[in-house]
Structure 1
């Protein structure tokens, strides 16, 4: 049509800008690796005074399980870490003599135990990997694990863990603590194994294995593999501890008094983004140069080995969330997003489902605790998750309506102006929705695109 539609066009453009600002609420805060231009490799830490903890200076352990990813004989030495800003306590720091990711799966359930669905996903691991050693921790056994393994060697971290009152923060930290002490495979309960671990493309030089998440460069935290005593995991623990302390200081509370309402985004503090930032820092130190997100974007089959960290492409650990990409190798695991930490109780105690019943003039509120969907402390959060997804679906329809308006009612110049806004809205919608549940995200066969008319 003619330029008579100046006002509707202006309203449309304003609406699209507002929509993009809303969808970009979390995306615009992408982290920048805080590294200096010149990276000097960290010198080897000095040997510690052994009498500080009553352990031998060298411990040789050999697993009796022959079915490991690679040989698992390790030598453990007691060392200090002068670069540690949180503690100067002596730590056991195993030094693998060979590539030695133990063939052991670690998982954690919430207070309600394993759901039938979680058990079915666990069965995919045990069926495809019959020799896999498997351990599921509960709240109490997780606490006992931390007290037993960290109280003697890193009491500050033990205190930090026990003081946390938000279950998802505990669960995220426990993941790192287990991998640091025992190594092996951490996987959330809502992750299924698609390919036997023995067939995963892990080169002998890899001591840590991560996969790209749905956003194209961030590391997924639902499945992580590591050797015991790994420096990358150690630094991730330090990084998370620092983020928690900073968060507490910002709110003028202790770490134990931090609540979900004080956390801008859990992924920034203890989740995938925190792990990504910590790993990129230690990778940069190990290779002697700055390593950023550009080196892990657009990975093909086999991924990339950065130092001793193997970064697998999106298809490996996040195929469902990435639209089932091709040309990136096999789909190794599937993350089903059975749970979400986005609920008031942090997930581990279950979901509060509020039902209102009328009893005369009196309103009765019934609180029912539901099972944790994935058991990793993330909780279920089904109702809130559904509401958020419905809201994003509404935004999707608004964008689609704007597309029709632009195609049918606007001039060519206006279409050219609004096309980038519509495309950005579509991409942001996909990225935000896929972080909630991957099953309602429009696939590539139904994108919102402005088809220019000749």
Structure 2
């Protein structure tokens, strides 16, 4: 209570006392004003102040009682809220324990079932705002080339608000062990892969399956922000993945360099976590790698990249690269249960495609979208609305 409030109460109390005295005086001595003044003048000043103090103290007492009750009520509500929070924490901990049990469920489950339990697919969620990249050198390493360094800077600059992470060999393996601790087959297969390029391929599928977002090879350069990739006539809820055509050969000798005449690229992928295509890629790479390990006496070189440069390239494409990637995508398109597509889908449906094509929940972009040959102007303007990134195709596997 401040100074003015106190004075106001005192003043009111004083007037009440005065009115009371006037009333008494009027009853006792009604005959004349002179007698009233005489009676009033005979009341000591100390008595008047005492009455006013009595009234003030009574008001202050009531106010203190009210504040005390209010404080008790507040304390009761806070205690109840704390009990509810504790209960919610117990429920959350119990749910986490149950999820852990599911993730480490019966050993009789297939690899694919384990992966489904680990990261179920929900198409209605948004694309997570992650950008993942991997390279054998860290950003502070002098061997991290300026061309790649500028690409890395531009991925971050053009996508503010996105979490952007670059992994090297050691950090990538540490993350995979953490994310797939309940599926030891995956971790074992990752560790068995004999070359860094194979692990880099495997890593992109593993990180996207667990976390979602966008993976981009270190030799890519963004031309437009990631949100620009989705056409205006397509809603993000319809999508589970965005990919681009990597190669679309018209040569009769395409088998010398490619596994499939038309191949989808995996140097840039945007996906939602748990997507079935990623799950199947992880399962196939894991099974194929562990199968090679189980019979090394029969095929001693199958866990190695041997042969000529071209032979090595084809082996990578079939083992972890865009050859296997393309096969898995077409299998997904032609699996009605997964894709809800009635008609047969083949490479011809994407041959010489010039505009984005939505098939099931996969948006397929033209070759020029993720491998544009546009030169970046000084003002940064992009004339081609479908040019989203450049790919330098540096044959990274030769240098890993």
Q: TM-score, normalised by structure 2?
A: 0.59
1:13-53 Cα shifts (integer Å, max 9, x gaps): xxxxxxxxxxxxxxxxxxxxxxxxxxxxxxxxxxxxxxxx9
1:188-230 Cα shifts (integer Å, max 9, x gaps): 1110000111211253211111000132631111100100111
- State the SS of the aligned residue for 1:211: strand
Distance 1:135 1:253 in 2: 41
Distance 1:210 1:82 in 2: 34
Q: 1:198 to 1:288 in 2, by over 3 A?
A: closer
Q: Root-mean-square deviation (CA), in Å? A: 3.4
Distance 1:132 1:56 in 2: 31
Q: 1:305 to 1:251 in 2, by over 3 A?
A: farther
- State the SS of the aligned residue for 1:144: helix
Query: 8 Å contact 1:245–1:255 — kept in the other structure?
Result: no
- State the SS of the aligned residue for 2:205: helix
> Residue 105 in 1 paired to residue 131 in 2?
yes
Query: 8 Å contact 2:152–2:218 — kept in the other structure?
Result: yes
Query: 8 Å contact 1:166–1:260 — kept in the other structure?
Result: yes
Query: 8 Å contact 1:248–1:255 — kept in the other structure?
Result: no
Q: 1:126 to 1:140 in 2, by over 3 A?
A: same
Distance 2:105 2:368 in 1: 38
Q: 1:148 to 1:58 in 2, by over 3 A?
A: closer
Q: Which residue of 2 aligns with 1:208?
A: 241
Q: Which residue of 2 aligns with 1:184?
A: 213
- State the SS of the aligned residue for 1:338: coil
Distance 2:104 2:159 in 1: 35
> Residue 331 in 1 paired to residue 391 in 2?
no
Distance 1:55 1:243 in 2: 32
> Residue 340 in 1 paired to residue 396 in 2?
yes
Distance 2:384 2:295 in 1: 42
- State the SS of the aligned residue for 1:160: helix
| Match among 298, 312, 319 for residue 352 of structure 2 | 298
Post-superposition offset of 1:337:
2.3
> Residue 232 in 1 paired to residue 271 in 2?
no
Q: Which residue of 1 aligns with 2:118?
A: 92
What pairs up with 1:233-248 in 2 under 5 angstroms? 233-245=278-290
Q: Which residue of 2 aligns with 1:267?
A: 317
Number of positions where the alignment pairs a residue of Structure 1 with one of Structure 2: 268
Unmatched tracts of structure 1, length 5 or more: 1-52, 60-76, 322-326, 349-454
| Match among 329, 347, 357 for residue 279 of structure 1 | 329
> Residue 309 in 1 paired to residue 362 in 2?
yes
Q: Which residue of 1 aligns with 2:67?
A: none
* Larger radius of gyration between Structure 1 and Structure 2: 2
1:158-207 Cα shifts (integer Å, max 9, x gaps): 11111222111111111100000001000011100001112112532111
Report the more deviating stretch, 136-145 or 111-120: 111-120
Post-superposition offset of 1:328:
8.2
Q: Which residue of 2 aligns with 1:41?
A: none
Query: 8 Å contact 1:315–1:331 — kept in the other structure?
Result: yes
Distance 2:365 2:96 in 1: 37
Post-superposition offset of 1:84:
8.3
Q: 1:288 to 1:247 in 2, by over 3 A?
A: farther
Post-superposition offset of 1:256:
10
| Match among 219, 225, 231 for residue 264 of structure 2 | 219
